[in-house]
Amino acid sequence: MKKVVIADHHPVTRKGASILLDSTNEYTIVGKVARGSELLKCLEEERPDILILELNIPEINGFHALRSIREEFPKTRIAIFSSHPEEIYALRSIKSGAAGYISKTSSSEEFLQAIKRIALGGIYLNDELTAAFSNHSVNDNTIVGRYKKLSAREIEVLNLLSNGKRNKDIASLLEINEKTVSTYKTRLLKKLNVTSLAELINQARMFQFN
């Protein structure tokens, strides 16, 4: 049986995912955690086969943390289970080391299919999302089109800005200097076609980055 750790700050989500996985008799839940410090301790102790991770749990810094976990625990396959917009976050998650992206709007059947594919060594993105990313007719001038052009690091900076972090805080969290943070902010303003930080943050919150 595959060992699984569930990391999510919502108790109902942790319990629901656990019940679904237990129903298959294919997985053993070895940890359920709500914050980053608990997660790292659990990963170190349990060395699970699969980590089901919500990117926004406290003490976790999105894609930066995802890459770090992937590097430190290379044998653990990571499934992102999130309410963030799939068209923006899914491919960034895969590029940052996740083995799959599962939306919290997915059905129970889809959730289990996704985890099984990941457990067997595959990569999971739902069919609609795969088709959408293959569709070259998407208008790059739409808000979604512009967000798709952002790099994983730009999305990290935007996420932290939308949570009220200052340049100094962001630099510390992402282990970069403040000048680099300023450069990312300038790029974000240009790429998202906005003229102020307030407008940038408002647009980010439309896409649930906070």
What is the SS3 string spanning 23-48?
CCCCEEEEEEECCHHHHHHHHHHHCC
pLDDT along the chain (210 residues), means of 10: 96 97 97 95 97 91 86 93 83 84 94 95 78 51 65 82 86 92 93 85 58
How big is the CA angle at 154 (ends 148 and 160), to the nearest 5 degrees?
Answer: 120
User: Of all helices (H) and strands (E), which one includes residue 28?
Assistant: strand 27-33
How big is the CA angle at 176 (ends 191 and 53), to the nearest 5 degrees?
Answer: 80
Sequence-ordered alpha helix ranges (H) in the chain: 11-22, 36-46, 62-72, 86-95, 108-119, 127-134, 143-148, 152-162, 167-174, 178-191, 197-206
Q: Which two tokens stand for residue 3?
A: 């060992």
How big is the CA angle at 60 (ends 75 and 152), to the nearest 5 degrees?
Answer: 80
How confident is the model at residue 95, as a pLDDT? 77
How confident is the model at residue 156, as a pLDDT? 81
How big is the CA angle at 90 (ends 134 and 48), to the nearest 5 degrees?
Answer: 130
* pLDDT tens-digit readout, 135-157: 544 455 555 567 767 787 888 88
Q: Which two tokens stand for residue 178?
A: 């403040």
How confident is the model at residue 76, as a pLDDT? 96
In angstroms and rounded to an integer, the radius of gyration of the C-alpha atoms of the chain is 17
Could you tell me which of 25, 50, 66 has the C-alpha nearest to residue 115? Answer: 50
H helices, E strands: number in the chain: 11, 5
How confident is the model at residue 192, as a pLDDT? 84
Residue type, 69: I
